[in-house]
Structure 1
Amino acid sequence: MEIEEIPGVGAKTAEALSALEAPERALRSGDVATIASAPGISQGRAARIARGAIRLKHDDPGGFLATDRAREIYREVLALLTERTVTDYAAQRLETLYPSPRRSRIEEVRAFAREAIERDPDPAVLEALDGVEPLETPGDIRVRERCLATTDAERYNEAREAIPELSVEVVEDAKGLAELARGYATVIALDESFAGVTVEGDVQVRPDALEQPAEIVPERPLAFFARNRDRIRAAIEVHRVSSLEPDGDCDLAALEDGLARLEADGTVAGDDELDRLTTAVDDLDAAVSTAESVANDKLRAAIREEDVTIEGSDLLSLVERGAGVDSLLSRELADEYAGAVETARNHLIEALALDAGEAEIGRRIFGEEPTFPVDRDDDAVSRLREELTAAKDRRAGRLKRELAADLADQREAAKTLVRDALELDVELAIARFSTAYACTMPTFVWTEEDAAPTETGFSIEGGRSPVLEEPLEQIDPVDYDVEGVALLSGVNSGGKTSTLDLVASVVVLAHMGLPVPAEDVYLRRFDDLHYHAKSQGTLDAGAFESTVREFADLAQGGSGSLVLVDELESITEPGASAKIIAGILEALAENGATAVFVSHLADEIREMADYEVTVDGIEAVGLIEGELEVNRSPVKNHLARSTPELIVEKLATDAGAVESTATNGGRETTTESPPHFYERLLEKFD
């Protein structure tokens, strides 16, 4: 599949898609999440691209939904599916499902839907899905304390492409390498010629560095897993509470353990020694200041209590004015000073939890020479900070490399894990829709090589329109089948339009490859659906001409079309409408199309047509307390009675055949009773 052949994909978009690891697989399968991970492509745009790729794959010309009302029906049934999704991904993924005239596409989705409707939409699974989103690839990783070094310009370009997270420097010799080592914590030399060279600083000779990026830049896999930690955890939970089997290469326990060792910022979690070192570096200045205060407080208290040559308060005053402090402390308070300094040292060591080597450096912060106030040695503080920081970095680096090695091999498995969870949401939406509307998989009557015409139209048993606003249990099931062209008659508010909506919904869903809201459905594969809704008033001359032209095109080439028309007579005068509709039906019948025309002029149209038009009727059983009681399933070859006829019939029945008399000036006169009047009206309907 050539990417630029996909409808709506230009050179810029094709270039972005080419950056994906497996663009053709993603496009052919409609993998919206992977397509949306390409630079500059949103999830909505990804769905449109996927649909275009699917059409290209199946040589689908598009245009199945040939009218506005047909497109409305599709959007309505699609909304019923998408409102049952948990994730935004699943809603966008469902956008790649569309009614197609291509058998290969229909059967492809049908195979998917058959498995989907077997899924159990357990509330625990739906809850777990709430945290699943498509994975993101961090593009903002930059490591500044490490660099790559090489003497070769070609190697330089390879390194920049392979490991963009690190700076790449060109050096001429070991001297240049040494200069880099003074500016970077770690220098990784890519040339084997540097092996055995002794350079001060952390210089590693790794000719294989470009083939082992996770070892050189552990931040890469760690950033990916840190960015997507919660999403992967949610996907793991989906697999645990559902019937989904993880990919064979995915160890859920190992993956979960690795994520538990990772902080949200990409650092390693759960290591006591690293935590100790990190805290020590962060708290060093505060701990030194506190230790200094502890020593001074202790020494100040000792001076106040001292009584040797002068009063303690006088001594304190002299000392604070700097009068011979060193000699006074050395002579009179040497032990007290030593005790105060030891207290400060112990406080510092305990506060920072320093080990033996670190403690030795920490003790040097407070010297042996008596001074007051006790003062720190800033050089010793700097040395301790450098020691702690270096130890922390070494520890963090080793832990990062270990964790990155554990997680790097799980990256593809994690992607599959999340993708499968998102696809499960798509399947569960279909399953929930199927359950909500008591759906079944329709049966297509495929013709030989699916090319020759067939007399089959559609047959629906126990259908309930999903686009009605009433709850399913309040919708009367409808049985209806049509071969060729039929007129549908019936009383007002009897359900004629709802029947057309049901047929349209069933045909659209069937050609999407999805289950349909009925007990049983047989139908042919249609090339397109023309659904003309009831016109709101008489059309002007231009609109009328346009409508007639459209039907002329159908009469010429609509043998594979399904045509649904609701009260076309409303577009012009009733007399002219009957003639026009009769002519359209004749042309569609001759062409082999399948059509249902709803009309109140069925009798007139039948008289004007030059062939025996099938007229089906939605029959009202009668009027009960002023409300029509209707058999919603059309009766084959039956012209349904109108509402006015039913009302007159009810009046005649209720009144009975009784004559009444009245006295007028002493004379009896006999008048025609209402029943006779009603019967006269009823005769007009025969």
Structure 2
Amino acid sequence: MEFTSIPGVGEKTADALAALDDPEAALRAGDVAALARAPGLTEGRAAAVAQGAIRRRHDDPGGWTATDRADEVYADALGLLQERAVTDYARKRLRTLYPSPVGSRIEEVREWAAEAVERDPDPDVLDALSGVEPLSEPRGLRIRERALATADAERFAEAEAAFPELSVEVVEDARDLAELARSYSTVIALDERFAGIDVEGDVRVVPDPEDDVEEVAPERLLSFFAENRGRLEAAAAVHEAADVDPACDPDALRDALSRLDGDGTVAGDDELARLSNAVDDLDAAASTACSVANDHLRDAIREQDVTIEGQDFLSLVEQGARVDKLLSRELADEYDEALARAREHFVDALGLDSGETEFAERIFAADPTFPVEHNEEPLARLRTELKTARDRRASRLKADLAADLAALRADADDLVRDALELDVELAVSRFAREFDCTMPEFVGGPAVGDGDADADSASGGFAVGAGRSPLLDVEFTDVDPVDYDVSGVTLLSGVNSGGKTSTLDLVALVVTLAHMGLPVPADSVRLQRFSELHYYAKSQGTLDAGAFESTLRDFGDLVEGATGRLVLVDELESITEPGASAKIIAGILEALDGQGATAVFVSHLAREIRAAADFDVAVDGIEAVGLEDGELVVNRSPRKDHLARSTPELIVEKLAGDARSDGSAEFYEGLLEKF
């Protein structure tokens, strides 16, 4: 795939995608987590790239939301979904859902959404999801006890690139290799010519280290699992709570993770723990052993029957007087006992085995002296032996555990990805359940899924049955349901605060969700597949000449080839004086009607527009049925072919009915006749 052919992908992003193991599969699946592993690609950017790849696959021209207000409605629809996602990943992944005019894309999402709404948003599942995040690769890993060695300059560069966590050294011959082995616990030679060479130390020949990462750098895999332990365990818990088949056995995964410490080292091996503790405690154990020997000698000296008082003798000794001969002659047995106690303490404190115990004989062996001191050279030799044994055992255990974890690596990716994708599905399910949604029915154009984005029938429009907008600033359960259907060009009249704008918002939201392939908040919805949504919000006051001209240019572009579009306009008359507004709106409606567009214009100038138009403009009305305690009582569903009464007319009518039989009654009746 030519990545730069994806809308919004330039050369830099294309290079980043090429660094992935299988970028084409990730793009086909819309796998935001996998795409976000590309160098320098954030999850937000990855979602945009995934959406671009979807558009390319369906030959989607984009731009379905053709105005700022249409963009805002899409953002509101997306926000309603994102609010019901638990993970940050799901919130970004939901951005790959967008309104499209292409039947194949709509049907693709509809099939997915039909399964998603069947998911049960169990609280235990949602709670487990809170611990799931995309897996991350460990950074800054450095392995200091192992090195790679080669005599080939090209192999040197390849090894440095493939194993940045390891030192890579150049060697010329076996002598260089042996010298290197004295500095590292393990040396891995990359050249086959070194096979069979007998050198001291742990030297292995691995010609193809990239194919045997578990042996060459097991820490890489162990660090990955250690860093992602919590996410993996949470993902396993999600699958169990949701009763969904996991990509790998959760018990096997937990067992493998239990053998791993948080820092990526192997846990639960007694021998490795013994060696590690011995290395760490070596100096302290030697010092304490000397103290044990000296305490024994002090007690022995105090009890000796010599010419001078024992206490005076002890003072002389501690002042540095030479007493080796005296100790040898007078306290030989006690000195041997002191050294024996020192060795015993040293061996017990470090838990030395039989092969290591012999070092204690040399560490605590010397001509009689006081105070007793240990010998540094054999102590250093023991330290080297213990470190080497520790590192080799750790390396072997790491390789064994890494081999076990390697079998789980790909499944671990799938386990977490599936949990994250479940969150995406659950967000749709929660949305559909909370807002009593249903799947809309597309009619009046080519069959959904045929891939034709430009050939929708001019007929069809939309029909919303018992739609309720979740965007209103009231509890959803308190929202009055709205029935409204439109085919062709229509004026929507009604009282102030009667719900005209909220009806347009509901229509825009329902149509947007439908073109995203998602369920909609209504009992039923039938609609044609629209090529674009043009939604113009109410203008804030009369426009100056320049802004007025710009607005007319927008509508001039709109009516040019408007077939298949849905146009929603809220009180366009506010852009200029009412007389001119009525004529302008009439002209726009004539052009839209000639193009076969579906349009709803909210206006208080329905009569004037009708009079100015050269065709029979349909007028629907949101009717106020009366006043109660100064508040309008409104039927929120527009009445077809009905010019709704205005709020002033209702008030005059109420005053006329309440007036007494005097001059005021005649006054109000006169006003009412003028409506």
Q: Is the TM-score greater than 0.5? A: yes
Per-residue deviation, 1:452: 4.4
Q: 1:210 to 1:540 in 2, by over 3 A?
A: closer
Per-residue deviation, 1:407: 0.3
- Is the 1:214–1:405 Cα contact (8 Å) retained in structure 2? yes
Per-residue deviation, 1:174: 2.5
Q: Which residue of 1 aligns with 2:434?
A: 436
Matched, 1:285 2:275: no
2:563 is aligned, of 559, 579, 583, to 559
Q: Which residue of 2 aligns with 1:223?
A: 223
Structure 1 stretch displaced more, 673-682 or 475-484 = 673-682
Per-residue deviation, 1:632: 0.3
Q: Secondary structure at the match of 1:39?
A: coil
What whole-Å deviation, never above 9, does each CA across 1:333-377 have from its counterpart, x for those lacking one? 222222222222222222222222222212432125321101111
CA distance in 2, matches of 1:492, 1:397: 78
Per-residue deviation, 1:48: 1.7
Q: Which residue of 1 aligns with 2:367?
A: 369
TM-score of the superposed pair, with normalisation by structure 2? 0.96
What whole-Å deviation, never above 9, does each CA across 1:34-75 have from its counterpart, x for those lacking one? 111111111121122222222222221111111111111111
Matched, 1:503 2:503: no
Per-residue deviation, 1:185: 2.3
Q: Which residue of 2 aligns with 1:620?
A: 624
Structure 1 stretch displaced more, 321-330 or 370-379 = 321-330
Q: Which residue of 2 aligns with 1:649?
A: 653
1:162-561 alignment runs, 5 A limit? 162-247=162-247, 250-367=248-365, 369-445=367-443, 447-448=445-446, 450=452, 451-561=455-565
Q: Secondary structure at the match of 2:538?
A: coil
What whole-Å deviation, never above 9, does each CA across 1:481-509 have from its counterpart, x for those lacking one? 00001110111100000000000111111
Q: Secondary structure at the match of 2:426?
A: helix
Per-residue deviation, 1:194: 2.9
Q: Secondary structure at the match of 2:560?
A: helix
Matched, 1:29 2:29: yes
CA distance in 2, matches of 1:599, 1:293: 99
Q: Secondary structure at the match of 2:96?
A: coil
- Is the 1:483–1:594 Cα contact (8 Å) retained in structure 2? yes
CA distance in 2, matches of 1:469, 1:362: 81
Q: Secondary structure at the match of 2:600?
A: strand
What whole-Å deviation, never above 9, does each CA across 1:237-286 have from its counterpart, x for those lacking one? 11111132212xx2222121111111222111121221121111111111
Q: Secondary structure at the match of 2:633?
A: strand
Q: Which residue of 2 aligns with 1:664?
A: none
CA distance in 2, matches of 1:317, 1:156: 65
CA distance in 2, matches of 1:72, 1:102: 21
Q: Secondary structure at the match of 1:616?
A: strand
Residue 261 of structure 2 aligns to which amino acid in structure 1? E
- Is the 2:185–2:392 Cα contact (8 Å) retained in structure 1? no
Aligned residues: 669
- Is the 2:135–2:228 Cα contact (8 Å) retained in structure 1? yes
CA distance in 2, matches of 1:490, 1:209: 77
- Is the 2:458–2:564 Cα contact (8 Å) retained in structure 1? no
Shift >6 Å, 4+ stretches: none
CA distance in 2, matches of 1:378, 1:65: 80
- Is the 2:444–2:460 Cα contact (8 Å) retained in structure 1? no
Per-residue deviation, 1:157: 4.6
Identity of aligned residues (%): 67
Q: CA RMSD in A?
A: 1.8
CA distance in 2, matches of 1:173, 1:318: 59
What whole-Å deviation, never above 9, does each CA across 1:112-152 have from its counterpart, x for those lacking one? 21111111111111111111111112343332332333344
- Is the 2:444–2:457 Cα contact (8 Å) retained in structure 1? no
CA distance in 2, matches of 1:591, 1:101: 18
Per-residue deviation, 1:645: 1.2
Structure 1 stretch displaced more, 459-468 or 549-558 = 549-558
The runs of 5 or more residues in structure 1 that have no matched partner are 660-671
The runs of 5 or more residues in structure 2 that have no matched partner are none
Per-residue deviation, 1:173: 3.2
Q: Which residue of 2 aligns with 1:131?
A: 131
Per-residue deviation, 1:154: 4.7
Q: Which residue of 2 aligns with 1:573?
A: 577
CA distance in 1, matches of 2:190, 2:428: 54
- Is the 1:338–1:368 Cα contact (8 Å) retained in structure 2? no
Matched, 1:582 2:572: no
Q: Secondary structure at the match of 2:204?
A: strand
1:678 is aligned, of 632, 649, 668, to 668
- Is the 2:458–2:563 Cα contact (8 Å) retained in structure 1? no
What whole-Å deviation, never above 9, does each CA across 1:204-229 have from its counterpart, x for those lacking one? 23345442221122112112212222
Residue 218 of structure 2 aligns to which amino acid in structure 1? P
CA distance in 2, matches of 1:72, 1:577: 26
Per-residue deviation, 1:543: 1.3
Q: Secondary structure at the match of 1:622?
A: strand
Q: Which residue of 2 aligns with 1:667?
A: none
CA distance in 1, matches of 2:371, 2:174: 49
CA distance in 2, matches of 1:183, 1:283: 22
Per-residue deviation, 1:598: 0.5
